[in-house]
Structure formats: C-alpha cells, structure tokens
C-alpha cells in the first residue's frame, strides 16, 4: 500500500460522519424517478472548432412598428399634438446614437445550438438580456454527451487523443454516477466544460447593438465571437438597413490614432482608398492584437487602450 494522499484523508474524515444538511444530494431529478424524459439529442460527437454551431433568429420585430415608435420618440421631446400628428422625421436618428431608449421596446431572440458550456458561461454575462438554457440539473445529458474541441488541439495529435479519452472518461463517470442514484445536479460535476448544449438569447434591439459591439470583437474567445457574428448576419438579413449599425466597437471609430499610420494595400471596401487606417483598435484585453485580429487597423500603435499591468504578447 502506498502513502496516504490528500483524497484518502478527505474520504477517511467523512466516512461514517453526519454531513451538514446543505451538502446532501436533495431529492431532485435523477434516473430512478423514471420521468420518461426525452434523450439529449446531441450524443457521441466531438465537434471541432465551429462545426455544428448554429444560430437561428426565432423572435423578430416589425419594421413599421420600429419606424412609428422611433418617429414618436424623436418628436416626443417637443410635444405631439394628438389632433395634428407631426410630419415624418428621420426615424433612423434613433439608431445612430443618443439615448436610444425607444429601441428597448423591440425584443429579439436567437436560438443557439451546439455551443459549449464554456461559451454559454460567457454569453450569460450580458446583464440586460434573458436566457433559457438546456439544464444539466433537471435533464439527463445522455450516455455519451457531445463535446466541442478547439481547433488548437489539432496542432498536437497526442492532445487530440487525450481529449478524446477525457470525453469518454467524463461520459463513463456521468453514467456511473447517475446509475448509482446520484442526482443530475450532482453528477454534472463530472461533465466537461466543453459539453455542448442549447441556449436562447433574448434581449432588446438596443442591448443587442451594445453587446455585439463588445462580443463580436475578433480578439474575444472564438466561439462567442462567431456566435455574435452569426446573430448579426441573421438580423441584417432580416433588416438590411441595420447593416450600418450592427458593428464592432472599433468599426464605429473614425481614423487612426496615429495620423502617420499607413497600411499598404488597405481594402477600399473599408472606406479608405488612400491607405490611411480608417479606424482604431478598441480592444481592452491583455493580448497583443497584431497578427491575431484580421482587421487592418489592429495594431499595437493604434490601440485606444492597452493595460500597463497585464500584457500577453504574441509568441
């Protein structure tokens, strides 16, 4: 017998002892209750990168309603005669900036399929949106829950093999725990962060603009950035006039911070045939942007903010 380990001490200290009530596995959903729940639809897959990640616009708004409400909101400041409605105004002024409070009246919702729990932990940080997520507490995730694997793992086949083994071991633990009568809410502790699931994002048009500007940045984690780009593409497809307003924060800036900052072969499509950078970088993270963001103005010398205390340089 080898030396005692910390986990041996932990198990020994709890053997035969009364546990505090708060740590008990309370009578919540578990296999033996036999509720006949449907099987988790996503089983046995290792999705690589963005494979299988899909977004759907499931709640939309009326363009006529938006135009009417924005027109009233713009005119409201100076008063509206109920017997003589004001002349039509440039209702898109509400989309261009200012308080934009009228945009809170218009709710949209996106169904997101196949996002990892790692990704959904990030997306739910949007304070003013609502979420409805596939539950690991009330729902059995199946005998072999599917997972998402970053493409970076493909750089080393040993890492790929290890992740495959880890997914198999996680699923085996989950099956064993639930078969032993442990509730789903406790058995989920053995599931990977990469386990895929469904989530519904619901929020106002105003909140979507604000969150897209932040989360669609190419410097953010690839999964959440890709999800917001899909959301933005769907919304613009349904309402083409929104193309001017669904923008990353850097795309809303004007000109480079350094007037001498030129870029050979700059894409005229981005609005600058002369070669001077059209925008500046607004990313506020620790990472260096050059060589990691595909946008031509992503340069260290062209950043609006860079932390002096935490920096992660590109290797």
Q: Which residues are catalytic?
A: 215
CB atoms within 10 A of CB 44: 12
CA separation for the pair 178, 30 (Å, rounded) = 7
**Phi, psi at 258, each rounded to 5°:** -105, 115
Distances (CA, A) of 192 to 50, 108, 138, 188: 17, 30, 17, 9
Paired tokens of 313: 């340089």
Written as six digits, the tokens of 309 are: 């205390």
- Residue 59 CA to residue 129 CA, distance in Å, equals 14
Which among 55, 171, 32 has a CA at the least distance from the CA of 109? Answer: 55
Strands 54-59 and 107-116: antiparallel
Give Cα 90 to chain centroid, integer Å: 33
Beta strands in the chain (DSSP E): 46-48, 54-59, 107-116, 130-133, 147-149, 196-204
DSSP structure class, residue 186: H
Q: Whose CA is closest to 53, among 198, 177, 158?
A: 198
- Spatial contact of 212 and 232, defined as CB atoms under 8 Å apart: yes
Which of 252, 248, 246, 244 minimizes the C-alpha distance to 233? 246
């Amino acid at each position: 017998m080898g030396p005692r380990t910390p986990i041996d001490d932990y198990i020994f200290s709890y053997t035969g002892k009364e546990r505090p009530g708060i740590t008990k596995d309370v009578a919540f959903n578990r296999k033996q209750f036999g509720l006949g729940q449907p099987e988790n639809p996503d089983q046995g897959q290792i999705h690589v990168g963005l494979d299988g990640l899909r977004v759907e616009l499931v709640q939309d708004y009326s363009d006529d309603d938006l135009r009417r409400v924005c027109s009233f909101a713009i005119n409201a400041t100076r008063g509206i005669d109920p017997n003589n409605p004001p002349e039509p105004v440039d209702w898109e002024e509400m989309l261009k900036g200012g308080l934009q409070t009228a945009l809170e009246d218009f709710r949209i919702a996106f169904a997101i399929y196949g996002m990892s729990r790692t990704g959904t932990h990030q997306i739910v940080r949007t304070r003013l949106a609502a979420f409805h997520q596939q539950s690991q507490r009330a729902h059995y995730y199946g005998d072999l829950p599917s997972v998402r694997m970053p493409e970076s793992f493909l750089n080393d086949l040993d890492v790929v093999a290890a992740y495959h083994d880890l997914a198999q071991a996680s699923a085996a633990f989950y099956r064993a725990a639930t078969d032993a009568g442990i509730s789903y809410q406790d058995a989920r502790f053995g599931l990977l962060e990469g386990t895929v699931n469904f989530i519904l994002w619901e929020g106002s048009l105003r909140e979507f603009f604000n969150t897209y500007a932040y989360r669609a940045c190419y410097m953010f984690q690839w999964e959440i950035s890709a999800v917001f780009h899909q959301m933005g593409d769907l919304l613009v497809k349904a309402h083409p006039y929104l193309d001017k307003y669904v923008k990353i924060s850097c795309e809303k800036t004007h000109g480079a911070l350094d007037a001498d900052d030129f870029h050979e072969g700059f894409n005229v499509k981005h609005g600058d045939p002369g070669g001077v950078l059209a925008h500046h970088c607004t990313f506020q993270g620790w990472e260096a942007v050059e060589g990691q963001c595909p946008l031509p103005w992503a340069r260290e010398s062209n950043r609006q903010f860079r932390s002096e205390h935490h920096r992660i340089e590109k290797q």
